Amino acid sequence: MTISGVALLAICTLFGAVLGDLLGMMLGVKANVGGVGLAMIFLIAGRHWLVRRKLLNEGIKLGIGFWAAFYIPIVVAMAANQNVVAAVESGPMVAIAAIATVLACFAAVALISRMSGRTETMDEIEAREGTLTPKVAQQDGLGSVVR
Amino acid sequence: MIAEAISHALRVNALLTAFAFVGLVMWLSAALSKYLTMGRVHGSAIAIMIGLALAFWGGIVTGGKSGLSDIPMLSGIGLMGGAMLRDFAIVATAFEVDVEKAKKAGLIGAVALVLGTILPFIVGALAAAAYGYTDAVSMTTIGAGAVTYIVGPVTGAAIGADSAVIALSIATGVFKAVLVMIGTPFVAGMIGLNNPRTAMVFGGLMGTVSGVSAGLAATDRRLVPYGALTATFHTGFGCLVAPSIFYLIVRLIVGN
């Protein structure tokens, strides 16, 4: 049933919210401490449990999948609700923060990939497996999860 | 008379109006992405930028603080993009996470993920402080926005940040995602991005699945699944640590 999926999602989200609030109270901060992250962990655990019991059916997948697919439109609506006028007044901070972040992360990728030694490139792997060109189109993961 | 009937129908069905309106924005963004940027910049990033631009316009027109949803006919945008449905949809994305696949990314993926959360957070929080946002809540929210444009608003809402600060955190995250989409092909050679392992490190470090998948697609399509594998965990991990551990650490350092 589709509602089972929606209900499971709602239960996980509510549990996360309650736990996040409780954590906030315990730590003495007026905040929901990590509620969304905790809810995600519950949902992953729930899925794992359902798969192991072979209870994961199409209805459950549909109920949760719909909301997962709805995520970018909701984020767009959220963006359209913010006080952007006040944000714009704060100047070029956004650009500076973003550019500095991206440069730092690119540098870290270069550093890690050098430190971890040489590895086979994509071209070498395909040459070894003899699967050059025909499979390329199939391996495009763009269509699956785009967020 | 017709105009009145339309405006009445739109107002009493506010949430449906919001669905239709956001649908139009998404459709327009997909078209812009395809024809204007040749698929370089992902449609979702364009849609969020349009959303922010509309919020700006709404703020100017109404003089209110809630962007587009201050316009009576578009009040449903406030419900659709509010905290309740937002958290609900974000949690739903975790359902696609496969524990078995996570193991494939291995230790190096985990290291990249942790580093890819800490590094942007520090840079973002410092940039916030440099521009006068020296309180713990604002620094944490903008730092979280530098992680991804989702972690920012989720964190901001959880710790009670101002809407303007949340807008800044979204904008920072979107700007970062766009930079990753456009910049990746140019730096790919320099950072050794030609093999699955580096692609996984890249996904964990850069975050945002839209940025990573579009950036990798422009570099070498075969690398996309490897990058997406680690990037998928980015938002979840960020939502877990930013409004908790990171916020508490920032509070310890700067006070309230």
Task: Work out the pLDDT band at A127, boundaries 50, 70, 90.
Answer: confident
Q: What is the pLDDT of residues B18-35, one digit of tens each?
A: 999 999 999 999 999 999
pLDDT, residue B152, reads 94
DSSP collapsed to 3 states, chain B = CHHHHHHHHHHHCHHHHHHHHHHHHHHHHHHHHHHCCCCCCCHHHHHHHHHHHHHHHHHHHHCCCCHHHHCHHHCHHHHHCCHHHHHHHHHHHHHHCCHHHHHHHHHHHHHHHHHHHHHHHHHHHHHHHHCCCCCHHHHHHHHHHHHCCCHHHHHHHHHCCCHHHHHHHHHHHHHHHHHHHHHHHHHCCCCCCCCHHHHHHHHHHHCCHHHHHHHHHHHCHHHHHHHHHHHHHHHHHHHHHHHHHHHHHHHHHHCC
Asked if the model's pLDDT at residue A141 lies above 50, the reply is: no
Please indicate, yes or no, if residue B86 is contained in any of the structural domains: no
Residues B62 and B112 in one domain: no
Residue A4, classed as helix, strand or coil, is helix
pLDDT, residue A147, reads 40
Tokens of A8: 């499971």
Tell me how many domains chain B contains.
2
Minimum distance, in Å, between the CA of residue A134 and any CA atom of chain B: 12
| ipTM for the complex shown | 0.86
Number of cross-chain residue pairs from A and B with Cβ atoms under 8 Å apart: 366
Please indicate, yes or no, if residue B123 is contained in any of the structural domains: yes
Please indicate, yes or no, if residue B148 is contained in any of the structural domains: yes
pLDDT, residue B77, reads 94
Residues B46 and B7 in one domain: yes
Please indicate, yes or no, if residue B12 is contained in any of the structural domains: yes
Please indicate, yes or no, if residue B67 is contained in any of the structural domains: yes
Asked if the model's pLDDT at residue B194 lies above 90, the reply is: no
Q: Which whole-number Å values give the CA distances from B156 to A22, A68, B139, B167, in the listed order?
A: 18, 21, 10, 10
Q: What is the pLDDT of residues B63-97, one digit of tens each?
A: 888 889 899 889 999 999 988 998 899 899 888 77
Residues B164 and B208 in one domain: yes
Q: Measuring CA to CA, which residue among A89, A54, A43, A131 is closest to residue B132?
A: A89
Please indicate, yes or no, if residue B111 is contained in any of the structural domains: yes
Mean pLDDT value across residues B161-176: 93
Mutation site, B88, B97, B216, B256, interface A, largest A CB count within 10 A: B88
Residues B44 and B150 in one domain: no
**Residue after which a domain boundary falls, among B25, B47, B81:** B81
Mean pLDDT value across residues B113-119: 94
Rounded to whole angstroms, the Cα distance separating B39 from B37 reads 5
Minimum distance, in Å, between the CA of residue A39 and any CA atom of chain B: 6
Closest to A34 (Cβ–Cβ): which among B164, B175, B244?
B244
Rounded to whole angstroms, the Cα distance separating B65 from A15 reads 31
Question: Chain A residue with minimal CA distance to B120?
Answer: A101
Q: Measuring CA to CA, which residue among A11, A145, A109 is closest to residue B101?
A: A145
Phi–psi pair at B240, nearest 5 degrees: -80, -45
Task: Work out the pLDDT band at B158, boundaries 50, 70, 90.
Answer: very high
Mean pLDDT value across residues A28-55: 89
Please indicate, yes or no, if residue B87 is contained in any of the structural domains: no
> Which of A66-70, A102-106, A111-115, B45-49 bottoms out in mean pLDDT, i.e. has the lowest?
A111-115
B82 with A78: Cβ contact below 8 A: yes
Asked if the model's pLDDT at residue A7 lies above 90, the reply is: yes
> Which of A10-14, A137-141, B83-87 bottoms out in mean pLDDT, i.e. has the lowest?
A137-141
Taking contacts as CB-CB distances below 8 angstroms, the residues of chain B near A73 are 19, 22-23, 26, 47, 80
A108 burial type by CB count under 10 A (0-12 exposed, 13-18 middle, 19+ buried) = buried
* B window 153-172, beta carbon within 8 A of A: 153-154, 157-160, 162-168, 170-172
A101 with B176: Cβ contact below 8 A: yes
Which domain does B22 fall in, by range? 2-81
Closest to B44 (Cβ–Cβ): which among A16, A20, A72?
A72
| A73 close to B (CB below 8 A) | yes
Q: Which whole-number Å values give the CA distances from A7 to A11, A54, B19, B76, B236, in the listed order?
A: 6, 18, 22, 23, 20
Residues B143 and B173 in one domain: yes
Residues B74 and B168 in one domain: no
Residues B6 and B133 in one domain: no
Residues B132 and B42 in one domain: no
| B224 close to A (CB below 8 A) | yes
Mean pLDDT value across residues A56-67: 93
Q: Any idea where the domains of chain A sit in the sequence? A: 1-81, 84-131
